[in-house]
Amino acid sequence: MIHLAGVTMKLPSGPDTTPFLRDVTLSLPTHLRCAVLGGLPASRTHFLRLICGKERPEKGEILTQTRFSIIGNSGTYFHPGLTGLENITFCARRYGIDAWSLTKMAVGFEKIEADWPALTNKLPVKKRRAMEILVSALLPYDCYLLDDIDQVPPAVLEPLFEIIGARRAGVIFTARTAKHVRQFGDCGGVIGSNTLQMFSQVEEALALHG
Amino acid sequence: MPSLSGADGGLGLPAGHGVLRVAYTHAAHRLTVLIEDWLIIRAIILRSLRVRHSGNPLGIFVEVFRPIVICTAHYFYFSLMQRNVPGNQFAIFTIGGFSVWFTFIAAYHGAFDGAKYPAGSHNIPGITRMHLRVAAVFWAFILYLFFANAVVAPLQIIGQPVTTPDLGLSIIDYGVAALLGFGYGLVCAAICQVVPALKPVVKILEWAVFITSGVYDSLLTIPIPVAKIIQYNPLIDLAEYQRHAYYPGYPIYMVTLTYPAIWAASLVFFGLATNRVLGRRR
């Protein structure tokens, strides 16, 4: 679980500088598939950065023992100047695991079409994002974070949720539309009116979101 | 096989050793954290080298190309101008002074702006901006320690009276220079963050530190009034000691390693403290 205690948070820049969360106190399950809807796209991303500890709240505390993954689909983890293999090697080195094994696992997904020649070159943005998501799924975390699930190709989403399901880990993902929320979500939350409302059923969250 | 659910917490310790158990768990945790930090720093160093030199045919050797050029140019300058150098050991004087300066300035820039362009790595769980800074400092230490040892063979081939430097003394020397640069960089970064208008002053100070760092002069060969001023720069002690590490006959009776070590410890402590306070405020 992740506990938000009196958390106030606003976007660091942009036209909307009013807090998108004001004095929010709630507990978020990190062992389920939890969808987050509503608010501006930037505020949803910022919310994910907040819960994984990369941002600090303006006010309040965030308490958790959960090990969160990178925020998948943010496109900021793999270095654009390096090849796919070099980026995977960096991730493997960071965790002290064998880079060769991690690479073999990453390219083992037939649906991704992450062939060897492609990996030895600098990856285009779309492929880089897909590879980021898959590599993070192969690393051991308690809860995986995924931003803007609607932008992720279905060929990546299926193996991703397969791996996470097998590991019995949780997922917190942000979404704009109902399709993926219904397909992958166990519970849902909606950002709006300076608060985050949690629902045990995704349909309730979707009904509020509209 | 000890049980994890046992009274000793699965550590196999005799009953009634609660304090020992806590100490053991704490030590094991610290060790795990240290290993993880080391893995992160190693990964960052290797990645940044790859990013910097991936398109270069000379690869990583570009890193030592600049110091070689600068040292060669200064060697000829010192020897042709017949500068007053103790024992006329021009090669030792040049390499000893400049390698210490390079270590310091690379560590300083690593601490000052090593975290400015993280290229996404700081977003990976467990990696902080401080890891990026420490990685830059550690690389400066390794690179110039390697450089100081690697230049000996070519110099001996061309007939220079250079011996392999005292490795222990060199490690201490470059280690203290790297820590000095790290601490000084953190302090300057904090100053510039609080008062951005002071950035030009920090730049001028960098120049002043260079001039008085002992790369051009030895305390023994300059007028006493000047020596009395530049002896306050801790880098001159390190430069003289590194020259002594190359050539045991090089005089070091006016310098000490304690003075730069105290400076390094104080700057690192103050730099880390201000970094933590400013990090919280941000």
Using 70 as the pLDDT threshold, list the residues of chain B that sit under it. Answer: 1-17, 117-120, 280-282
- Give residue A115's pLDDT: 59
Q: What is the pLDDT of residues A160-169, one digit of tens each?
A: 888 888 888 8
Mutation pick from A94, A135, A138, A143 vs chain B, by most beta carbons of B within 10 Å, is: A94
CB contact under 8 A, B54 and A67: no
A132, A73 Cβ separation under 8 angstroms:
yes
Average model confidence (pLDDT) across chain A = 80
CB contact under 8 A, B39 and A141: no
CB contact under 8 A, B123 and A94: no
- Here the ipTM equals 0.70
Indicate the residue of A71, A74, A79 with minimum beta-carbon distance to B119.
A79
Q: What is the pLDDT of residues B47-66, one digit of tens each?
A: 888 888 877 888 788 888 88
- Spatial separation of the C-alpha atoms in residues B10 and B4, rounded to whole Å: 4
Token representation of residue B107: 């560590």
Q: What is the pLDDT of residues A5-34, one digit of tens each?
A: 888 887 777 666 778 888 888 888 888 888
Of A82-96, A98-112, A124-138, the range with the lowest mean pLDDT is A98-112
CB contact under 8 A, A77 and B42: no
Place of tokens 């390219």: A107
Which residues in chain A have Cβ-Cβ distances shorter than 8 Å to B29? Answer: none
- Mapped onto helix, strand or coil, the DSSP state of residue B215 is coil
Q: Which residues of B lie closer than 8 Å to A, measured between beta carbons?
A: 35-36, 39-40, 42-43, 46-47, 50-51, 54, 119-121, 123-127, 282
First to last CA, chain A: 27
CB contact under 8 A, B125 and A67: yes
CB contact under 8 A, B123 and A81: no
Min Cα–Cα distance to chain A from B14, Å = 30
Which residues in chain A have Cβ-Cβ distances shorter than 8 Å to B123? Answer: 54, 70-71, 74, 76-77
Q: Residues 6 or more apart from B274 whose CB is under 8 A from it? A: B186, B187, B190
Q: List C-alpha distances in Å: A63 to A60, A67, B144.
A: 10, 12, 43
Which residues in chain A have Cβ-Cβ distances shorter than 8 Å to B127? Answer: 94
- Decide: pTM greater than 0.90: no
